[in-house]
Amino acid sequence: MLERNEMDRRARTDHPVHELIARRFSPCGFQEREVPAGDLRSLFEAARWAPSSYNEQPWSYIVATREDPARFADLLSCLVEANQEWAARAPVLVLCVARGDLARLGRPNPMALHDVGLASATLTFEATARGLAVHQMAGILPDRARELYGLPENVAAVTALAIGFAADPAALPEALRERDTAPRTRKRLEEFVFGGAWGRPHGIVAEPSRKSPGR
């Protein structure tokens, strides 16, 4: 059964999508509840099986939980200040790292960021299936991460994840409550699905559809 806050944040889509897509959202508020180690292993197992160019699997993840305060504080310090303010309440923080070259071919991998995104998206839907929430962050300090974790020259921190059980917005401080209850919006299909020429909506989406929110 979905908790009330999950039901409130459900995407109201214009067209049918899988339940996990409708349920997924990025909360800023998390419950003070540990994420079981078995669940975390399954999240990274899901990422492991994401597709990648040449099957290079250019992703790596650096993980810290609040059960280890020193390491959690280290990873938190790799986020920009605005993200630190709310991510400090998450039970798990993850730094997503991309390898920029193709190990087998010895040349740059132009698909590395794309593939790391695929792995993290796969992780996110596994989390949703388990009643967990993932908030992905672009606001990180890559140089701080490189220095702190000794990242090699051919890899770089690209994003971060906060993982946990979404909190009921009613129990959050006002600023977080406003963020977690704000209307969810998305572009309409005709704004990004084209055919024939750039900016020309493809016929499959050109017909007017129901206007609805979606975040």
d(CA 191, CA 206): 9
In sequence order, the β-bridge partners of residue 166 are 30
pTM of the model: 0.90
Q: In what order do the strands lie in the sheet with 133-137?
A: 59-65, 92-99, 155-164, 133-137
**What residue spans define the domains of the chain?**
30-165
Task: Please list the rounded mean pLDDT of every run of 10 residues in the chain (215 residues).
Answer: 54 93 95 97 98 97 98 98 96 98 92 98 98 98 98 98 95 87 92 95 77 45
115: left (phi over 0), alpha (psi -120 to 50) or beta: alpha
d(CA 21, CA 36): 23
What is the pLDDT, as a whole number, of residue 207? 66
What is the pLDDT, as a whole number, of residue 165? 97
Task: Assign domain 30-165 to its CATH architecture.
Answer: 3-Layer(aba) Sandwich (3.40)
Q: Give, in order, the Cα–Cα distances in Å from 208 to each of 11, 71, 148, 197, 204.
A: 19, 51, 51, 19, 10
